[in-house]
Amino acid sequence: MGLHCALVEFLLHHGMRPRGEWWDRGIVLQGTIPTAAVAERFCVPGAFVQAVNMLEVRPERIRVMGLGYEEYTITAQPWGE
């Protein structure tokens, strides 16, 4: 499983909701990105996801740069917007 898919599953499990389908390597999820929980889960070595070049975690978005330098973006849309 790619890291971007694992991240979306993790975020959905933590209460975020999809605002649509994947589009051109990106998705919008409604809710707040639990940055500390994401860092704790995904910023340590493990065999649970594929390796990546970069993982950037911010409250408003997560960017993943794959091994082939393909970029995936998960954007957070706060509740009520």
pLDDT in tens, 12-44: 999 999 988 777 889 999 999 999 999 988 887
Query: What pLDDT, on a 0 to 100 scale, did the predictor assign at position 81?
Result: 66
pLDDT tens figures, 47-68: 666 778 899 999 999 999 988 8
**DSSP structure class, residue 19:** S
Read off the pTM: 0.85
Handedness of CA 66, 53, 62, 43 (dihedral sign): positive
The DSSP bridge pattern shows strands 54-57 and 61-65 to be antiparallel
Each domain of the chain, given as residue ranges in start order, spans 3-77
Calculate the alpha carbon distances from 14 to 11, 23, 24, 38, 75 in Å: 5, 22, 24, 10, 15
